[in-house]
Each structure stands twice: as C-alpha cells, then as structure tokens.
Amino acid sequence: MEENNKMKNEPVNKLMLQMGVPMILSMALQAVYNIVDSAFVGNMKEGSEAALNALTLVFPIQMLMVALAIGTGVGVNALLARTLGQRNREKASKVAGNGLFLATVIYVLCVLFGLFGIKAYISSQTSDSLVLSMSEDYLRICCLLSFGVVFFSIFEKLLQATGRSLYSTIGQVAGAVINMILDPILIYGFNLGVQGAAYATVIGQILSALLLVVFHMRLNKEFDQGITYMKPNKRIIKEIYSIGLPAIIAQALMSFMVYAMNLILKFDASAQTAYGLFYKVQQFVLFMAFGLRDAITPIIAFSYGMQNKKRVKDGIKYGLIYTIVLMVLGTLITELFPNFFATLFNAGQSRIYFISAVRIISISFLFAGVNIAFQGVYQALNGGMESLIVSLLRQVILILPLAWGFSKLVIQYDRDVSLIWYAFVITEVLSCVVGWVFLRRIEKKKMVFD
C-alpha cells in the first residue's frame, strides 16, 4: 500500500513534517474551540465575568472527556501502526474495531456524568449562584452530546495510524469553522448565552466526526471494516490500554491539575478566572507539541515494529528538534502579545493576573514541549511506566505542592498572586531532567533487536 510504503521508506525528517504539520494544525484547532467560546462569552453584554468563570470551572471535565477519548485513540494509533508494520491485517482490523467499541463505552460514561454528576462537581468550586447555573447549563450540553468529540478522537487516530493525518485536519478545520460561525449566532442572535456557546461547540464536534467517518470508510483499506470487528477482544483491549492508559492518565492528570488549581485559587475569583483563561492560551501552544507527538508515536512505533533501529533513532532526534522549534515560536508569541489575548477575552477584573500568568508561565513552554515529546517516544516503545511518572511529576507530585505552598505565602503575607505562577516553571524544568534520564534508559533497553 502507498501509505505503508511511505511509513517504511520516506526519510523520517520529511515524513514527520508530512504527518506532523496536519496533526499540529488539528490539535491547534481543537484548542480554538475553547478559546473561541471564551472570547465570545467574555464579550456578552451581561454576566460576562460570571460566564468566563463558569467556563473556567467546567474546563477540567471537558478535558477529562477528551483525555479518555484521545488516550484510547493513542493506544489504538500506536498498536495499529505497529500491527500494520508487522503486516498483520486480521489483527489490525480487530484493533480498529475494538477502538470503536471503546469509544461507545466512553460516550456512555460521559452521558451518565452529565445526568448525575454535574451539580456536585461545580458546587465544590464555587458558591456563586449565577456561576453555578451557567456552569451546569454549559457542561450538561457538552456531556450529553459528547459523541462528536469522542468518536472524532478515535477516527482521527485511525487515519493517523495509516499516514492520512491530512484528512483528520480537514475534519477539524470544518468543525472549528462551524463553531466560530455558530458562536455569535447562538450566543448573541438567539440570546442563549453560555448555552449557545455549548451548542456551537458540540455541533462543530459532531460535524468533524461525521466527516472523519466518511474518510475512514473510503480511505482506510489497509485493514477490514465491519461491526463484527467491534466485538470486544480482551487481549487487544489490554494491548490498547497498555499503550494508551499512560496517555489517558497524562491527560486526566491535566484535568485534575486544573481542578486542583481552581480550588487552590478559590480565595480570589479573579485569579481563578485568569488561570482558566491562561490555560486555554497555553493549550493552544502545547497542543502543537501534542500534535507533533501524534506524529512521533506512529512513526517510531512502525519503525519499531519493523525493527529498524536507524529510523527509530531518527524519529527521536527529529521529534525533539521540531518540538523545540515549535515551543520557541509559541513562547515568543505569548511573551510578545499578552495584551492581545487579554483584550480578546475581555478579561476585565482578572486582566492583571492574566497578563502576569502569561509572562511567567510561558517560560516553561520549551521544557513542557520536550516532556510531551518524550512521552510520545515512550508510548511508541512500550515505555508506559516512564510516561506515567513524567505525567505524575508534571501534573501532581511537583506542581500542586509548589502552587499550594506559594498560595499560602500569598495569603499569609499579602504577596502578589504571580508568585504562584513560578510553580509551573520549576515543575517543567525538573520534569524535563527526569524525562531525559528516562529517554536514555529506554533507548538502551528497547533498542536491542534480535
């Protein structure tokens, strides 16, 4: 097959650009959903500050839904690419089918949370009745209609595993455009407020998913398709999650970290909102690293399946080089234009906190991007434990105690809230050192072919 030959023979530096650029654009556009919602909501005539706070509070659950779907997709992606590299068509068909079965299970879980878990979750972060009401309205819509984002995430990985990342980008672009068109219509025109933002988001996601279904059915011919392949296979599901579980945990820990930071910053609603707004800008930058990671993983996994040591090493080298270039660019943009983002969101009372967060935390982007690239390598080489440890360091073990400790200093000694933002820089630098040690160790352990 032409795509398989490309994965096998195309120079790795060119292949990574061919696959990585569409994935980077796809992930950046995924981040646009939340940025666009916040920008339009922040400019509502009434209740804009409360609406921005509401979107900040619901964001961790949105991230968690995506974590379950994308993490599962990462496992499907790497296992499918490796299986195709081994030319095992029957197993590849079952891997794809079980990925779709798992997507169905994830959607059911999202619906159950949307029906029974929202109120308790939101009320743990705020007692403001207006913010509480807006948060519940927005999150319930996103949960009950989450099948768009869930199935998009799986079909995206099925296309990426066969080298067709361009088509997933087309689907993502279409959804983002629809979202941006519908936001002002539903928020302002129909006066639906935050509910309009939620409907615009899920409609865009559903359209993206439908497009990817069509592309998958017509283009992915390297393996067989059909409902029979969706029959749960314990061995394949175990293999998918042996690769994908660290990715799920990594993204779920991001969700947990944002939730915990909301609790740490609960003493100042403006600081809480500022962090939520900054996180969406940060996502726009770091999602570029995630997009490149999604090229790194199948390229290295395919080469590992072929037992081609040189291509594996090239995948690691160029993956790190391209990631560093992207993160330097992202850092320059955020450091030079923090006022633009503050104006875009109409940040209001949280503007000063937001600008200080942008200027300080952006310093950590280079180290954060390298950590993400490391995890893409680990996942391709079955280094699940190394990926998990780096995630725990970045999202829990280092960041939360540091942020909590700095917040106590801010409260007790009336210090500037910006002190808390330095916790992110310290965390990423230390995690990067650990990640490099793990990379050297996993290369020695995994790069021995019989």
Please give the pLDDT value at position 430: 97
Q: Under DSSP, is residue 383 helix (H, G, I), strand (E, B) or coil?
A: coil
Same domain, 196 and 317: no
Domain range for residue 312? Answer: 249-443
Q: What is the DSSP string of 63-99?
A: HHHHHHHHHHHHHHHHHHHHHHHTT-HHHHHHHHHHH
Which tokens is 317 given? 């080298």
* Enclosing H/E stretch for 46: none
Same domain, 184 and 144: yes
Please give the pLDDT value at position 303: 86
Same domain, 12 and 143: yes
Q: Average pLDDT, stretch 12-33?
A: 81
Q: Which residue has the tokens 């037992």?
A: 307
Q: Is residue 376 part of a domain?
A: yes
Q: Average pLDDT, stretch 55-61?
A: 92
The least confident of 4-18, 94-108, 353-367 is 4-18
Same domain, 160 and 306: no
Tell me the C-alpha distance between 450 and 409, whole Å.
56
Same domain, 191 and 289: no
Please give the pLDDT value at position 319: 95
Residue 246 has pLDDT above 90, yes or no: no
Q: Is residue 55 part of a domain?
A: yes
Closest CA to 385 of 243, 289, 252: 243
Across the chain, mean pLDDT equals 90
Same domain, 312 and 191: no
User: How many structural domains are present in the chain?
Assistant: 2
Q: Is residue 242 part of a domain?
A: no
Same domain, 41 and 12: yes
Q: Is residue 241 part of a domain?
A: no
Q: Measured in whole angstroms, how far is the alpha carbon of residue 113 from the centre of its chain?
A: 20
The least confident of 92-96, 163-167, 287-291, 360-364 is 163-167
Please give the pLDDT value at position 189: 94
Q: Measured in whole angstroms, how far is the alpha carbon of residue 386 from the centre of its chain?
A: 19
Residues with Cβ < 8 Å from 286, sequence gap 6 or more?
Answer: 330, 365, 368, 369, 372
Please give the pLDDT value at position 283: 86
Q: Give pTM, 2 decimals.
A: 0.80
* 3 — pLDDT class (breaks 50, 70, 90): low
Sign of dihedral through CA atoms 182, 183, 189, 192?
A: positive
> What are 131-190's pLDDT values in tens digits?
999 999 999 999 999 999 999 999 999 998 887 878 988 898 898 889 989 999 999 999
The least confident of 15-24, 308-317, 400-409 is 15-24
Q: At what angle do helices 89-116 and 129-144 cross, to 10 degrees?
A: 150
Same domain, 258 and 394: yes
Please give the pLDDT value at position 442: 84
Residue 274 has pLDDT above 70, yes or no: yes
Please give the pLDDT value at position 449: 56
Same domain, 274 and 345: yes
Same domain, 208 and 270: no
* Enclosing H/E stretch for 145: none
Residue 248 has pLDDT above 70, yes or no: yes
Same domain, 68 and 151: yes
Q: Is residue 162 part of a domain?
A: yes
Same domain, 342 and 214: no
- Of 200, 232, 264, which one is at a domain's C-terminal end? 232
Q: Average pLDDT, stretch 388-404?
A: 93
* 410 — pLDDT class (breaks 50, 70, 90): very high
Please give the pLDDT value at position 306: 84
Higher pLDDT, 82 or 196: 196
Residue 4 has pLDDT above 70, yes or no: no
- Of 232, 266, 287, which one is at a domain's C-terminal end? 232
Please give the pLDDT value at position 450: 47
Closest CA to 22 of 288, 297, 211: 288
Contact 300, 373 (CB under 8 A): no
Q: Give me the percent of the chain exceeding a pLDDT of 90.
A: 62
Q: Is residue 238 part of a domain?
A: no
Q: Is residue 31 part of a domain?
A: yes
Q: Is residue 194 part of a domain?
A: yes
